[in-house]
Amino acid sequence: MTPSDDPTTPTADRARFCYFRDQIPLSDRQLARAQGALEIVRTFVETQKVLDGDGFTETSPLWTGVTDYAADLVAGDRAALERLRFLSWPFSGISLLHMSTRPEEIGGKNDYSDPDAALAKFEARGLDLEMTHALDAAEQFSTLLPITLPQQMGEVGWLGPHGVVNLDTIAFSERIAMMANFGAIQHIMEPARRHVVVEIGGGFGGIAYILKRALPDLHYVIVDLPSSLAFSAAYLSATRPDARISFFDGRSETQPDKDYDFLFVPHYAWADLIDLLPRADLGLNTLSFAEMTEAQVDGYGQGLAKLLPPDGLLFEQNFDDRRRGGLNVPDILSRYFDDVSPSDTGPILRGVPKLWAPKAA
């Protein structure tokens, strides 16, 4: 047995960097599921184009055109789908191609044809302290709540148990640890019923993937702009080929599967979704409420307050984004919710976490 094969060897000594060339290619079935999901999402994109702007359906100025560069992905191009995670940096502000959060490094035109050439320097640099801690945490909690992502669709970084660890999974670790500290995770682990999670702005689907893997009985709903929904619908359809995938836009006569695992809903169907769902147990938003319009956050807040029972919870983590024309989210959510956040949240680097409970009727 070599030192790197010995399970007692410290994480930093046995971790291996996962390049794009190390990816597990999408199977024909995975590809077909992703492309099938995108075929439906493209109809959502076309519907949004003809909707009258009402303050809620219009795209926020801070998000207009952000994902336009990923047209090949929305079209279902295989090469783009295999590189989805390189294209998903607008959701987290983390570029896996650059292993960076620095706008001056991420911005501009990027060549995704040979990502390994750009990634070689990160392996040569080795593990820093933050990544070492992340790998240790991933191993420590691997049986309870694996906070790693599958080695597919452009997921690069350091290999840990069950998948890859990188800057995105560190952010997810922070969020999920905070949700557990706030009691939100325990809230959806209670065995009384199959719980419903509604995530507003699901990004590429990372948190959904992690929570659904740990809690397989969840009904998980993602509401997003159609161009953004393309990422999460394609990602989760492909990486979870066992999952029941449904769509709802409030216009089709086809109703979603009542036993869905993931339900994808364009933002313009939010009011219809409120009428469709009998309830939700947990609402989620990370890093996107602050980028929306006030009308949108107000609409989501009002709707979630209707969906959540008196013991329901809303977890959100956002920056005060007024400096660049965005929002201070608590100013709006406090219209419908009471802040029930623990007083001590510790040092947080990626937005201010808040836990909200619906105001008493």
User: What does the pLDDT look like over 126-151, one tens digit per residue?
Assistant: 888 888 888 887 887 777 778 899 99
* Contact (CB, 8 A) for 356 and 338: yes
Number of domains in the chain: 1
- Per-residue model confidence (pLDDT) at position 107: 66
pLDDT band for position 174 (50/70/90)? confident
- Per-residue model confidence (pLDDT) at position 348: 66
Domain annotation covers residue 197: yes
Domain annotation covers residue 67: no
Domain annotation covers residue 115: no
Domain CATH number, residue 284: 3.40.50.150
* Contact (CB, 8 A) for 214 and 145: yes
Chain segment 198-230, per-residue pLDDT in tens: 999 999 999 999 999 999 999 999 999 999 999
Q: What value, to the nearest 5°, has the Cα angle with vertex 68 and ends 65 and 74?
A: 140
The residue with greater pLDDT, 66 or 139, is 66
Average pLDDT over residues 250-268: 92
Domain annotation covers residue 258: yes
Mind giving me the DSSP string for 229-263? HHHHHHHHHHH-TTS-EEE--SSSSPPPPTT-SEE
Domain annotation covers residue 113: no
Structural domain span for residue 337? 171-358
List residues bridging with 149 in a β-sheet: 164
Domain annotation covers residue 49: no
**Strand-pair category, 337-339 with 157-160:** unpaired
Domain annotation covers residue 93: no
* Contact (CB, 8 A) for 301 and 289: no
Torsion sign (Cα): 37, 229, 349, 174: negative
The residue with greater pLDDT, 19 or 101, is 19
- Per-residue model confidence (pLDDT) at position 4: 37
Q: Is the pLDDT of residue 108 over 50?
A: yes
Domain annotation covers residue 188: yes
- Per-residue model confidence (pLDDT) at position 349: 67
For residues 15 and 1, give the distance between their C-alpha atoms in angstroms, rounded to a whole number: 16
pLDDT band for position 85 (50/70/90)? very high
Helix and strand numbers (H, E) in the chain are 16, 11
- Beta carbons within 8 Å of 163's beta carbon, 6+ residues apart: 146, 148, 149, 150, 151, 155
Average pLDDT over residues 15-36: 96
pLDDT band for position 310 (50/70/90)? very high
Mean pLDDT of the chain: 90
